Structure 1
Amino acid sequence: MSLTIDITSLPDERLIFTPSPLAEMSAMLHVLGEPAHHPERHGWAASTTASVPPALAERLAEADFLWRSSRADFLVPGIPGATLADELDAVDRIDDEQYVRAALVLTCGASRLAHRITSPLTDPVAQERARELALARGPRQADFADRLLTDPTAVRALVRRMLEDCAEAFFADAWRRVLPDLAADARRKTDLLVRCGAAEALAAVSSSVALEDAGGGRRRIVVDKLQDNATNGAGAGGVTFIPTAFGRPHLVVVHTAGWRPVVQYPLAEDGVPEPVSLAVVQQRLEALAHPVRLRLARTIARGPHTTGELAAAWQLSAPEVSRHLAVLRKAGLLVTHRRGRYMLYRLDLAGSARLGTDLLEAVLR
């Protein structure tokens, strides 16, 4: 499964790497809304939550569906500004139609294909459907949907004031701390793009992002995500890549038609392994799902064993053991070393221990 961005005929210089204050604020708000996704940020989330004024905390709780399970597209700018005020001004220039669609897609839990349906601002059937879906998510979502549908101008003003209050309460200080690293990362990626081309620059973004030759002169960016979707970067005039210090493990992609594609990627950190692809995670789960391989894994987790030892321990033939070990090895779950004429097999404990984390990160990506 993957999300693809068509960049056929798009010059490499239209791939932009730059920080975004609004995108980073939305990443911080997500951490506050879903701290379980970000165990490394528990200290920051706890102290920030404790310091936020109660009135602002209540407003954040009311609007947290804009960034909690996903991110409203207008919170991840396609053309980032120099300041938060610049980016909020750009959001103000979005028409009500786009703004309401972006908000209700999240509020109502609807598919991002919702841009294909009629407008909930003008069509009574779409409006009723939006209210029905919002009500299923809870009274706060229902109230928000009602107010947004009846008075989008007022709701938009309230959301902007709330984000400005967040800047004063906690964002400005955090942004000053992380901006140098974000800007340095964006410069490195831009330099790599100029010197080595798009493939190298995208590979440096994340092991979950790659440039693929689709044949016939067609190029596309492929993002390892738990979804099948596609958008067109060439038609939107480019693709924007925004580094984030608060976003790990999420790889956020704006891919709705009518919006410039954006990829918000976490900064690389020393000691933090690169994300494992969903295909590799699935391969490892399938390798361990077989009862015989699970027994073999249990044995070699306790210490190195030869094929003969494993065959004798489980009353299997040596060729049968070899076949199962080959599957475990292909999945990257084995460590081998030779002792004289014997090959010993041991379970890769570190890799196996990360399997649960890898699975969770792939799901959250």
Structure 2
Amino acid sequence: MSIDITGLATERIVFETSPMGELCLALHALSEPGHHPGLAGWVTATAAALRPDLADRLQEADFLWRTTFSDLFMPWAGLRGGTGRPGATLAEELDLLDRLDDDQFVTTALEFACLASYSIGGPSPLTHRPTRTRILELAAARGPRQVEFAGRLLKDPASVRAWVRRLFEDCDEAFFADIWQRVEPRLAADVRHKTQLLRRKGLREALAAVSPALHLEDGGRRIRVDKLADGRATATDSVVGPGLTLVPSHFGWPHLMVLHRPQWRPVVHYPVGSPELPAPTSVDLLKLRLEALAHPVRMQVCRSTARTPHTTGELAGVLGISPPEVSRHLSVLKKAGLITSRRRGRYVLYQLDVRAVARLSSDFLEGILR
């Protein structure tokens, strides 16, 4: 994944905290605790304390932070004529969310069904009937909640916008305000440190401090992000204005996210710190799993199924191979215990067992030192 920064002034590269960005990761940790083994205690306590009505509403919209990390949580990056910077409070960022037009809001909220065109854009589902039909078909594979939500969003964006804002406000009241008060000082300190590093030692040193996955290339004209994904972004888009924002996260590990939607400012959302991984499994199982992953297509299958289940047909479309080929790769991964499956109606959905994958590195070290 790359970010073109040709001609971008240094002062347009900023480090900022984002309450909504952190809310996204907190909600993701609640819905996918397997991605965040170090947060098990917090997840258990927070989930147990949620009001039943709030828990139900979170399940209804969880594809905004579980299936994908929706760009709705960073509305400031898409506002035309805006500053390109987050708000200081959740309320301020919710006001920025209200300023997105309906087309931006709907397309971004339906990101889970628009991944194939994320990097290049496409027709609006509000006005283009084939796009609308395709989105509803893809939502059907996600279950009745997603179908209902997608249909309501396409029919009446205004009511869904109000519903989403109220949901985030209720999350703030229930648990997030306390979280933000606790983690914001640490994130602000990281922002100050990285900003000073950028000013005193330059962008290369600042990127290295953010993550070893970030590299400055092409004579300082491009940032490469080492991820199992293809994507291109520009930090000098004439529509939204120039700028690149880097946002630290307490809840982010192990995710390093890059917002690269066309005509939005690029954003790098990076974790601060990382917890310990769980205890290792057997060496025989480790060997089987490493052999299963020693294929580029199976690595892509893992990436596609890490955040949300996919059908064989969906994986075939994403990977550009035939359904029988997908089935063969899924069979190898299932034998290694890396993929789970479940049936929903006429669909069979496959998903990566992130707990098993999270243990691989510690399992490997334990295995060779045992």
TM range (shorter): 0.7 to 0.9
2:16 to 15, 18, 25: 18
1:72 to 67, 70, 73: 70
1:98 aligns with 2:104: yes
Matched ranges for 1:151-230 at <5 A: 151-212=156-217, 214=218, 219-230=221-232
Correspondence for 2:28: 30
TM-score under structure 1 length normalisation: 0.72
Asked if the contact 1:31–1:37 (Cα under 8 Å) also holds between the matched residues in 2, the reply is: yes
Instruction: Determine helix, strand or coil for the equivalent of 1:116.
Output: coil
List per-residue Cα deviations over 1:115-165 (Å, max 9, x = no partner). Answer: 532111011111111111111111111000100000000001000000000
List per-residue Cα deviations over 1:298-347 (Å, max 9, x = no partner). Answer: xxxxxxxxxxxxxxxxxxxxxxxxxxxxxxxxxxxxxxxxxxxxxxxxxx
Residue 110 of structure 1: CA displacement?
Answer: 3.3
Larger displacement relative to structure 2 (32-41 or 227-236): 227-236
1:25 maps to amino acid: L
Asked if the contact 2:35–2:358 (Cα under 8 Å) also holds between the matched residues in 1, the reply is: no
* Aligned residues with identical type, % of pairs: 51
CA distance in 1, matches of 2:46, 2:358: 30
Residue 172 of structure 1: CA displacement?
Answer: 0.3
Correspondence for 1:234: 236
Matched ranges for 1:325-364 at <5 A: 356-357=360-361
Matched ranges for 1:137-148 at <5 A: 137-148=142-153
Correspondence for 1:305: none
1:134 aligns with 2:132: no
State the 4+ residue runs in structure 1 displaced beyond 3 angstroms: 268-272, 357-360
CA distance in 1, matches of 2:59, 2:260: 26
List per-residue Cα deviations over 1:167-197 (Å, max 9, x = no partner). Answer: 0000000111101100000000000000011
Asked if the contact 2:254–2:274 (Cα under 8 Å) also holds between the matched residues in 1, the reply is: no
Instruction: Determine helix, strand or coil for the equivalent of 2:108.
Output: helix
Instruction: Determine helix, strand or coil for the equivalent of 1:228.
Output: coil
Aligned length: 279
CA distance in 2, matches of 1:269, 1:227: 22
CA distance in 2, matches of 1:230, 1:155: 30
CA distance in 2, matches of 1:151, 1:355: 44
CA distance in 2, matches of 1:131, 1:53: 30
- CA separation of 1:160 and 1:109: change in aligned 2, threshold 3 A: same
CA distance in 1, matches of 2:27, 2:276: 25
Asked if the contact 2:233–2:262 (Cα under 8 Å) also holds between the matched residues in 1, the reply is: yes
Correspondence for 1:121: 126
Residue 271 of structure 1: CA displacement?
Answer: 8.0
CA distance in 2, matches of 1:38, 1:211: 29
| Structure whose CA Rg is larger | 1
Asked if the contact 1:105–1:114 (Cα under 8 Å) also holds between the matched residues in 2, the reply is: no
Instruction: Determine helix, strand or coil for the equivalent of 2:115.
Output: coil
CA distance in 2, matches of 1:271, 1:129: 41
CA distance in 1, matches of 2:162, 2:358: 44
Correspondence for 2:87: 81
CA distance in 2, matches of 1:358, 1:255: 32
Residue 355 of structure 1: CA displacement?
Answer: 7.9
CA distance in 2, matches of 1:222, 1:357: 24
Asked if the contact 1:105–1:112 (Cα under 8 Å) also holds between the matched residues in 2, the reply is: no
CA distance in 1, matches of 2:276, 2:47: 28
Instruction: Determine helix, strand or coil for the equivalent of 1:5.
Output: strand
- CA separation of 1:15 and 1:225: change in aligned 2, threshold 3 A: same
